[in-house]
Amino acid sequence: MVEHHPSSNPILPPAIIGVVGGGQLGRMLALAARTMGYRVRALCPDLDPPVAAAAEVVRAAYDDEAAVATFLEGLEVLTWEFENVPAALAAAAEARGIPVRPAGRVLQVTQDRLREKRFLQAAGLPLPLWQAVDSLSALETGLRLVGRPAVLKTAAFGYDGKGQVKIDAATEAAAAWQAIGGQPAVLEAFVPFVLELSVVAARGLHGEFVHWGAIENRHKDHILDLSVAPARVSPALAWDAVALARRVLEALDVVGVLCVELFVTADGQLLINELAPRTHNSGHLTIEASPTSQFAQQIRAICGLPLGDSRIRGGAAMANLLGDCWADGEPDWAAALAVPGVTLHLYDKHEARPGRKMGHLTAVAATADEALRRVVAAREGLR
């Protein structure tokens, strides 16, 4: 299935692209759009968001109807940099005839873990064992069905490990239920995975599909720490991961970029963890490693342009820079950049807080192993 739009003509520069959200993903998306000659307008409640470096910003709450009307005026297409967006905003754009890409339906499915699980299950896609939970008694029943250890996740507004708690043999169900605020949730069997992968992929207006292969990820305290491409797995497993991602994008009728996060079990099984209907942290390395970055590809896809070459050239690795890097003062950027093949990206955030994503380093090399060595050495050099 492909999107049916009154016009199949591409949206060309200098059209105005609307971006909901003002963080680093919006910033890098706007920079890619500006490179291609587009204008960008972002909606964000923050006073000085990172996106302001490359976009006009309407500073208002996402549910401010008057501000939303101002934001939508003159837009040719609307996209977003994060999924926790009021459905009414996408509906308001669609009511004005502004294409929303990915569509509001994609947003509706992916911003709620329960809807996402049900959608993926109905599509026959592989998931960890799970149960819907809406009360303490439902949690207790779910634990009998799913077993322990398990992970209890709020249905809405979860990212970077927020809104979830692990339940093991010593955990009281009541304490776990209280920890997530007693709200609708998903209970998942804990997956003793051996590796985490992501597949960042794009789908065009007419169903074209491109991807950057399987990317290997390491997390620390539930936040992405390192990404390596291509993932150091067998070609068959990498191919299966991409095939799963394609099934997801086609089932959702995505126009734009979407990331599928995957667990790899000890017996080589792939299980879908979560979906991100946007550009993704693990895809940052595509800026240096691919002829078409995930951000440029998002612009191409939502504007109905031909999708670009997404091959990873050699190996690449990305290391997140959290606010912790500033704990002892300004990091030593010169030391990091002395490592061959390393590029620095800072997001223009003025307050460095522990756990806050402030930037990233990318390293490119002939192999994934060498790229990983370089990016780790560069980050260690910051201290």
- 7: in domain: no
* Local confidence band at 34 (pLDDT 50, 70, 90 cut-offs): very high
Residues 145 and 228 occupy one common structural domain: no
Q: For the chain, what percent of residues have pLDDT higher than 70?
A: 97
Q: Residue 159: what pLDDT? A: 61
* Local confidence band at 4 (pLDDT 50, 70, 90 cut-offs): very low
Residues 77 and 56 occupy one common structural domain: yes
Query: How many Cβ atoms from other residues are within 10 Å of residue 370's Cβ?
Result: 17
Average pLDDT over all residues of the chain: 95
Residues 52 and 147 occupy one common structural domain: no
We report the CATH number of the domain holding residue 89 as 3.40.50.20
* Local confidence band at 338 (pLDDT 50, 70, 90 cut-offs): very high
Q: Residue 39: what pLDDT? A: 98
Residues 240 and 137 occupy one common structural domain: no
- 351: in domain: yes
- 317: in domain: yes
Residues 244 and 269 occupy one common structural domain: yes
Q: Residue 158: what pLDDT? A: 60
Residue 69 has pLDDT above 60, yes or no: yes
Residue 2 CB partners (closer than 8 Å, separation 6+): 205, 206, 207, 253
- 342: in domain: yes
Sequential DSSP letters for 163-213 = TEEEE-TT--HHHHHHHTTS--EEEEE----SEEEEEEEEE-TTS-EEEEE
- 306: in domain: yes
Q: Residue 5: what pLDDT? A: 45
- 10: in domain: no
Q: What pTM value is reported for the model?
A: 0.95
Residues 271 and 370 occupy one common structural domain: yes
- For 39, the enclosing helix (H) or strand (E) is strand 39-44
Helices (H), the chain: 24-35, 65-72, 87-95, 104-110, 113-122, 136-146, 173-179, 235-252, 286-289, 294-302, 333-337, 368-381
Residues 243 and 279 occupy one common structural domain: yes
Domain final residue pick, 156, 189, 222: 189
Residues 63 and 206 occupy one common structural domain: no
Residues 236 and 137 occupy one common structural domain: no
- 177: in domain: yes
The per-residue pLDDT for range 261-287, each reduced to its tens digit, is 999 999 999 999 999 999 999 999 999
Residues 150 and 209 occupy one common structural domain: no
We report the CATH number of the domain holding residue 329 as 3.30.470.20
Domain final residue pick, 77, 110, 143: 110
Q: The domain containing residue 166 runs over which residues?
A: 129-189
Among 35-49, 87-101, 155-169, where is mean pLDDT lowest? 155-169
The per-residue pLDDT for range 105-159, each reduced to its tens digit, is 999 999 999 999 999 999 999 999 999 999 999 999 999 999 999 999 999 866 6
What's the number of domains the chain is made of?
A: 3
305: buried, middle or exposed (CB in 10 Å: 19+, 13-18, 0-12)? middle
- 322: in domain: yes
Instruction: Work out the average pLDDT over 12-35.
Output: 98
Q: Residue 225: what pLDDT? A: 98
Q: Residue 6: what pLDDT? A: 45
Q: Residue 68: what pLDDT? A: 97
Among 42-46, 91-95, 158-162, 357-361, where is mean pLDDT lowest? 158-162
Residues 346 and 206 occupy one common structural domain: yes
Residue 2 has pLDDT above 70, yes or no: no
Domain final residue pick, 137, 156, 189: 189
The per-residue pLDDT for range 152-211, each reduced to its tens digit, is 999 986 665 568 899 998 888 999 999 999 999 999 999 999 999 999 999 999 999 999
Residue 95 CB partners (closer than 8 Å, separation 6+): none
Which of 260, 226, 257, 267 is CA-nearest to residue 241? 260
The per-residue pLDDT for range 343-381, each reduced to its tens digit, is 999 999 999 999 999 999 999 999 999 999 999 999 999
Sequential DSSP letters for 40-68 = EEEEES-SS-GGGGTSEEEES-TT-HHHH
We report the CATH number of the domain holding residue 157 as 3.30.1490.20
Residues 177 and 205 occupy one common structural domain: no
Q: Residue 161: what pLDDT? A: 58
